[in-house]
Structure 1
């Protein structure tokens, strides 16, 4: 069962991370597979069995809430081809978050953002692990702090 979920996550990652493939029928992920998988996860979380027995009450509540929002996003749709880029990113991030919570590896989950390309009206998807995003924020904060202290030194 775990291998099936892992394979499903890999297929979803490929389908969502590569929009160019979204129009190719063999690469389009069927949302019914996601719904089936999420229903199995919901049943496990609610019954507090198997992989889900050690989740805290807050984690269970947040997981079920995020899952409900995601399922609402894909409601009435049959494949990832029917989602816009923002919806694909949201679904991908939610599935990655759920997988990370269930496997207790939050720092290794992939998080994607859509950022504007400088000098263009288009946006690109940037995907990194949660720990990479955190490290970049800390490095930027440290750089700004060190520049601020040097500016203080020059004004004295």
Structure 2
């Protein structure tokens, strides 16, 4: 969790400079406002990744949402100057990545199939890898518990 917070703090420090030098794609103001309302509904219902945030992150999310909505409400994209667009993009990116967890990270590995020299690149989410590992361990334990041991008689 600390790594995420440190990464976010670093992003906050450099995002305004990047946002001003790299013009971004136009965004639909109404869509962004609708997304913020949906995030609020998810949090209130206790659903989604934002609902699992700790108290400090939740406060930062709410503050960013308040600033973003205040900046965009009653405006169209064309009404905003470049500084306002940059600030809006910074808030949107921060909100987007605040909802990400380590489980959402994509990890790729190169594996060689048994009996083949061909190397295959396999990409999975951290959560998928953890679930597969747990399932395979559970299956192995189940097989060990269900095995039958034949008594060894005189012919063994």
State the TM bucket, normalised to the shorter chain: 0.3 to 0.5
TM-score, normalisation: structure 1? 0.47
More relative contact order in 1 or in 2 (CA 8 Å, sep 6+)? 2
The structure that is helix-richer by fraction is 1
TM-score, normalisation: structure 2? 0.47
Of structures 1 and 2, the larger Rg is shown by 2
